[in-house]
Amino acid sequence: MLRKYRLKSTFMELLMTDSPSGKEGNLAKLLSSILEDMGLDLGFDSANRVTGGDTGNLIAYLPGDDTLSPLMLNAHLDTIKSTKGSTPLIKGDIIKSDGNSILGADDKSGIACIVEALRIITENKLPHPPIEVVFTVCEENGLLGAKNLDYSMIRAKMGYAVNTGSPLAVVVGAPYHNGITVKVFGREAHAGDALSRGINAIKVAADAISKIDSGQIDEETTANIGTISGGTATNIVPGFVEVKAEVRSHNEEKLERKTKEIASKFEESCELFKNEIEGKIVTPTVRYEIRREYNAFKIDEEEEVIKRALNAAAGLNMEMETCLTGGGSDANIFNEKGIKTALIGTGMKNVHTKREYINLEDMLMCTELLIKISMCHNQTTKGSR
């Protein structure tokens, strides 16, 4: 029933359509044409008024048995960076980046699997509930599409985000995420003639960073110092530096504790670098902004959305397990908005790197699973929810 060549062809067409965050318009047009040819109804919201991008979220509707509760399928249109000028390499069933940029399997493999599943369902007139397909924008730069989605366009209360690795695992939970921006203010001075009258903001920040325990903190928590920028010239003592960091945890108490710890290290370092300048004690200062990027979710394995995925896998003789992820996705936002959403994998590997690749067989497995899930959904009526 599955058409391997067609899935591959669709995926390659998607990969060759550049769609970095905020510039998903061409890909949205391509998908609109594909979905309209399949007979789906389409709509766009106005999320781009907030994101500043060239298109809003694309929502498509496949009519189904209206006595059944709608099912949502989701993938995101954007890639972490541009793939313009790159040509995917194909060797057998392996499709990989040519090394000039990312491949874009995150998340164009998810889009391709959803499209092929919809084609099989419509061509074979398989029984299914109403299916709502949500292709979001700006997932990679803060889940902005999902955060600004017009939820009045969505009826489904459960669904699947097709945006993770192994197709043999259903993701039932993802962490909280705090973003941290730290601004350290020192004192500029000439680096040759007036060195003693300056306070090096980069040294203050470096001291704090050296004392922060980052990486894998425990099995639930991670912390990362992501960027540092500051200074204007080699002959000027830098008076300002900005550091961006993040903390993720499946435990909110641990998240907040680690976030406060990072902020406190910068405050402590400021005290260590105070300097007497022109008869006065001058202490560097720090300001920080803490943002809750998204909240965690954890879905009980007895919930219908998880049982349905596991039952679908069993029906295909696939040994599927449940797991947690350390990354965030649109599913975090959907769950917060009351749409029970688990993650299904496509087989994407080494995402966000020039070593990204995917096996077409994994994509076929994901597509089969999506079809089976849609048919399993046929077993639950509105009245039984």
CA distances for 160 relative to 52, 135, 137, 249, 308, angstroms:
27, 12, 17, 22, 11
User: Cα–Cα distance between 383 and 372 in angstroms, integer?
Assistant: 22
* Cα dihedral sign, 256-289-77-90: negative
* Structural tokens at position 196: 């003693």
Both tokens of 101, joined, read 């940029």
Q: Tell me whether strands 357-359 and 94-96 are parallel, antiparallel or unpaired.
A: antiparallel
Output the CA–CA distances (angstroms, integers) from residue 142 to 73, 80, 128, in the order listed: 20, 11, 33
- Give the H/E segment covering residue 344: strand 340-345
DSSP three-state, residue 328:
coil
Active site residues: 78, 139
What is the spatial distance between Cα 141 and Cα 293, in angstroms, rounded to a whole number? 10
Separation between Cα atoms, residue 179 and residue 55, nearest integer Å: 26
- DSSP assignment of 66-118: TTB--EEEEEE--BSS--TT---EEETTEEE--SSS---HHHHHHHHHHHHHH
Q: Measuring CA to CA, how many Å separate 272 from each of 67, 171, 187, 206, 359?
A: 68, 45, 14, 12, 53
